[in-house]
Structure 1
Amino acid sequence: MPSHLFADRPAPQPPERDAVEALINRTRLLRGDVDAVRRDTTVVDDDDPQLRWQRALCELAVHQLDDLGEHLGQLRDGISDPADAGHASEAAPRTAPEPSTNSLVGKVGSGEWNLLTDEVSWSDELYQIFGREPGTGALSLDQLPSLLLAEDQPLLTSMVTDCLVDGRPMDGEFRILLPDGSIRTLHMMGEPVLDSDGCTASMWAVLRDVSRLRRSQHVVGRTRNALRSREERARAEHRVAVEFQEAVLPPWRGSLPAPGRGANRLDVAAHYQPSGSSDLIGGDWYDALPLPDGGTLLTVGDMTGHGVPATSAMAMLLGALRGMAVAGIAPGAVMGHLNQLIECSAQPALGSAVCCHFDPATNTLAWAQAGHPAPLLFRDGMGRPLPAPDGVLLGAASGVSYEQDQVNLLPGDVLLLHTDGLTRRNDRSACLDTLIGLAPRFAQARTAQDCVRIVVEELGSTERLDDACVLVARVGV
């Protein structure tokens, strides 16, 4: 039986893999073109600040295209480990206002620190990045660390030392605290400028505001972790639900000879068919239980929902049903007690069920149902549903009674019990027509297991919205 909760519109679909692959190829081509321009700028005179600026912009563009290619690759391949998010803060501190642009990279500024004259030159953009008025003057290399968060100051000191002493290029990120108390993340790239004697004369650098980019990466990381946690929970729930179901449903597979000898002997077989559209286990059950009075309990049912809640509710009802059947309580009264049990349970639920008691002494089947498809009786190559006694869904109403009916079975008769979900849209009418159409094949079958196999061959490949159970009982000839 499908859950009472459903979606009336299809879920949003992810981008087509081929479209993302095309974007990746275009990004690679563009990256190659930009890289060619960058290589051309490396042969120019380093004494020209404008040319150094052009080369730095090319470097930044290459970095951004590399990031874009990696993110598109993640989109194509699914959830994966993201690129290092630098110093993105887990506390998500308050950040400075962003430039009016749709780009994840904010303003880009440049600066140069002359070691011979102690002169410092900043671009207008760099003043804006640091939240300073141009009239206040640029910061020296000794003053610059005072704006950084305490934990990032050693990184800047190491970068500047390596650049000035060892002549290494700078490439790193740090966070600064602005006068208004907000925080920005800056990416700094630079290198030493040598004089004619090969000594370091000055240091230039390009800084870009990557606060928005890092914040976006932080959000992506949190979302990725949430998705992974949800997937892990779903896998764990699926595993528990499967183990729960396997522990509760009968351990037998194939035919189960029920008590009785000769013509009244029952041959029983059943099959559980999982949903084709969900990884979660439903609350469907089947059971065939020999009873102390010599009879046999035959039952199928379904609880709404999926996962552990559905399987736990199924286990509760099936356990109670077995106990009452063993105690000799008639099927109609069993349905009423199950309805009361759901009313008293902590978790509200809905369920449907069929409960049958076969008496081999009289060859009669007493049965009751709660909002469930009636058993199908196949005889002499013909099939029909048994007239259903009154019975509402379990948990749908309180204080209701369930009628009980009785039918005589003959040697060779086949009784088929099933839950909803066998067809694509859980259409009872279509399912009934399909099953009744199998009557000639049932007449040729020699065992209950053969009948179950016929049902699975006919409906097993159907894309179902819900789980389904089929139980077949064949009266011995």
Structure 2
Amino acid sequence: MPSHVSAEHPAAQPPEPGTVEALIAQARRLRGEVDAVRRTTAAEPGDERLRWQRALCELAVHHLDDLDRQLGQLRDGPAPDPVGAAAAAAAGGAAGRVALPAAPPEGPAPRPACSAGSAEWNLLTDEADWSGELYGLFARSPEEGPLSLDELPSWLVEEDQPLLTAMVTDCLVDGRPIEGEFRIVRADGAVRTVHMMGSPVLDADGRTAAMWAVLRDVTALRRSERELSERRDALLRRRQIARTEHRMAVELQEAVLPPWRETLRRPPGADAVPDLAAHYLPSATSALIGGDWYDALHLPGGGLLLSVGDLTGHGVTATSGMAMLLGALRGMALTGAEPGALMERLNHLLDTAAQPALGSALCCRYDPAGRTLDWAQAGHPAPLLFRGGTGRALPRPDGVLLGATSGAVYGQARESLLPGDVVVLHTDGLARRAAGLTDSPDGEPGGARRLLELAPRFCAARSARECVRVVVEEFGGTEREDDACVLVARIGGAEPERPEPARPVP
């Protein structure tokens, strides 16, 4: 049975790939233009005004590189997963409501903290010159003055101090441009991650006279990257868990369902035993392994138990519950219990289980000697009987879903069968209602209507396997929301003689 998923709030749709590609192209074009300006300012290294412009260009290039990388992640996104609906179902269940942002406060918005500034340290005069923005980055008062290169390391987190020392040495001693990140402890006690990019300033003799640098606060950016990485790792873990659960559900299902996926072997001398065939049809995504089952069991005395059912949910929980239910059904059937009594005991089993669940089931006991079918149902589609080129659904006795209520009583019906009759049992995931298949007046789902339309082909088939192939041809390619099972029984024995057509009198 399909799980109940709320469609009140549809999931947000991802941006169109073309839109993201256009943004990436614009960002890269702008980066090229900024880079051209940076190369122009680099032609005059001694001009203070151009040096400041070059520093701003370097900062803009870094921002554009970050933007290009993040847009690339938005474009690529997480790789599609074959159990993507089951991974989401396994990890989060049904879709929830999206929290709306709070209304903005009245009045002017607070001024954002400064995120970038510049500095120059003169080695000849031992003077430092900071931009006003840099004081804001360090939460330092301009009246206190700038920090010297000797004082700067004391503002860093202890583990990062050797990194800054090495960067300054590379710039002042080796005359190389520097770039790196470190953490500072501001005057207000806040720890911030700072990206520093600088280069030496040479005098007329080619010796290092000063060092200038641009420092920017990248705390929020690195935090976002870290959160993104953690979420990606969590998603990969959930996918791995979903794959493992999916594999376990498939293996458990294959171990529980009868090994005869095509035709059931008849006992020697049991000509009256019906010809049986069954098939399991996965959902459209092939990822939601549910609790559907089919089964046939030879009973003491020559009878035959036929059953199909569906336990709510998907994954290991539903499959293990189905295995428990099917095992209990088999064990109780061997005691000689009638189908109605079997339904009552299965209902009690689900109602008192540690993990309550709902399920539908159809249980039939066929007597080959009298060719009678006694059956009961628990909220399940009725058996379909095909005879003489037509088909009909058998009138359903009373029966509610398993686990829905305590002490439920289940009715039982009997149907006499003839040689050549075809009986089809199926679960309700066989066809979608979204395909315009409304329920019939007698309460049967739309999938049963489509099966009844196949009556001429069922009646013309010479084996249950042929009937199953007809079902697979008709339903195998449909967009089912849930998995499904079908079990076909073709009653054996001597078929009634068909009257020959009247011959015209000469």
- Normalised by the size of structure 1, how large is the TM-score? 0.92
Q: How far apart are residue 165 of structure 1 and its match?
A: 1.1
2-side partners of 1:259 and 1:211: how far apart?
A: 75
- Is 1:109–1:125's contact at 8 Å kept on the other side of the alignment? yes
CA displacement, residues 165-190 of structure 1 (integer Å, 9 cap, x when unaligned)? 11111111111111222111111000
What is the match of residue 233 of structure 1? Answer: 241
Mapping of residues 192-203 of structure 1, within 5 Å:
192-203=200-211
- Is 2:114–2:136's contact at 8 Å kept on the other side of the alignment? no
2-side partners of 1:55 and 1:444: how far apart?
A: 86
2-side partners of 1:178 and 1:452: how far apart?
A: 75
1-side partners of 2:405 and 2:393: how far apart?
A: 25
1-side partners of 2:114 and 2:277: how far apart?
A: 69
Corresponding letter in the other structure for 1:188: M
Pair 472,260 (structure 1): closer, same or farther in 2 beyond 3 Å: farther
Mapping of residues 14-413 of structure 1, within 5 Å:
14-43=14-43, 45-79=44-78, 100=111, 107-259=115-267, 261=269, 264-277=272-285, 279-413=287-421
Q: How far apart are residue 107 of structure 1 and its match?
A: 2.1
Corresponding letter in the other structure for 1:476: G
Q: How far apart are residue 407 of structure 1 and its match?
A: 0.9
1-side partners of 2:65 and 2:212: how far apart?
A: 24
- Is 2:367–2:373's contact at 8 Å kept on the other side of the alignment? yes
CA displacement, residues 402-429 of structure 1 (integer Å, 9 cap, x when unaligned)? 1111111111111101111122237554
- Is 1:374–1:388's contact at 8 Å kept on the other side of the alignment? yes
- Is 1:259–1:294's contact at 8 Å kept on the other side of the alignment? no
Which stretch shifts more, 451-460 or 202-211? 451-460
SS of corresponding position for 1:198 = coil
Which stretch shifts more, 22-31 or 361-370? 22-31
What is the match of residue 91 of structure 2? Answer: none
CA displacement, residues 106-147 of structure 1 (integer Å, 9 cap, x when unaligned)? 521000111111011111001110110011011111110111
- Is 1:257–1:266's contact at 8 Å kept on the other side of the alignment? no
**RMSD between superposed Cα atoms in Å:** 1.9
2-side partners of 1:318 and 1:161: how far apart?
A: 75
2-side partners of 1:474 and 1:212: how far apart?
A: 70
1-side partners of 2:460 and 2:34: how far apart?
A: 75
Corresponding letter in the other structure for 2:490: R
Corresponding letter in the other structure for 1:13: Q
Q: How far apart are residue 461 of structure 1 and its match?
A: 1.4
Corresponding letter in the other structure for 1:68: L
Corresponding letter in the other structure for 2:73: Q
Q: How far apart are residue 262 of structure 1 and its match?
A: 6.5
Which stretch shifts more, 184-193 or 219-228? 219-228
Corresponding letter in the other structure for 1:470: V
Corresponding letter in the other structure for 1:413: D
Q: How far apart are residue 152 of structure 1 and its match?
A: 1.1
SS of corresponding position for 1:440 = helix
Count of residue correspondences:
456
1-side partners of 2:288 and 2:191: how far apart?
A: 45
1-side partners of 2:405 and 2:471: how far apart?
A: 34
2-side partners of 1:28 and 1:424: how far apart?
A: 47
Q: How far apart are residue 22 of structure 1 and its match?
A: 2.1
2-side partners of 1:78 and 1:106: how far apart?
A: 32
What is the match of residue 90 of structure 1? Answer: none
- 1:432 pairs, out of 441, 448, 451, with 448
- Is 1:114–1:201's contact at 8 Å kept on the other side of the alignment? yes
SS of corresponding position for 1:34 = helix
What is the match of residue 489 of structure 2? Answer: 473
Q: How far apart are residue 49 of structure 1 and its match?
A: 2.2
2-side partners of 1:138 and 1:18: how far apart?
A: 48
Q: How far apart are residue 263 of structure 1 and its match?
A: 5.3
What is the match of residue 86 of structure 2? Answer: none
Which stretch shifts more, 162-171 or 105-114? 105-114
Percent identity between matched residues is 65
Q: Which runs of 4+ in 1 moved over 4 A?
A: 260-263
Corresponding letter in the other structure for 2:432: R
1-side partners of 2:286 and 2:357: how far apart?
A: 20
1-side partners of 2:234 and 2:202: how far apart?
A: 50
- 1:416 pairs, out of 412, 424, 431, with 424
What is the match of residue 87 of structure 1? Answer: none
Pair 12,343 (structure 1): closer, same or farther in 2 beyond 3 Å: same
Q: How far apart are residue 100 of structure 1 and its match?
A: 3.7
SS of corresponding position for 1:421 = coil
The answer for unaligned runs of 5 or more in structure 1 is 81-97
- Is 1:109–1:129's contact at 8 Å kept on the other side of the alignment? yes
Q: How far apart are residue 99 of structure 1 and its match?
A: 8.1
1-side partners of 2:320 and 2:414: how far apart?
A: 31
Corresponding letter in the other structure for 1:47: G
CA displacement, residues 317-370 of structure 1 (integer Å, 9 cap, x when unaligned)? 011001111222111111111011112210010000001111111111111100
Corresponding letter in the other structure for 1:60: L
Pair 156,41 (structure 1): closer, same or farther in 2 beyond 3 Å: same
SS of corresponding position for 1:252 = coil
Corresponding letter in the other structure for 1:266: P
Pair 453,100 (structure 1): closer, same or farther in 2 beyond 3 Å: farther
Pair 147,99 (structure 1): closer, same or farther in 2 beyond 3 Å: farther
Corresponding letter in the other structure for 1:41: T
Q: How far apart are residue 6 of structure 1 and its match?
A: 3.7
Pair 464,100 (structure 1): closer, same or farther in 2 beyond 3 Å: farther
Corresponding letter in the other structure for 1:422: L
What is the match of residue 458 of structure 2? Answer: 442
The answer for unaligned runs of 5 or more in structure 2 is 80-108, 440-444, 494-506
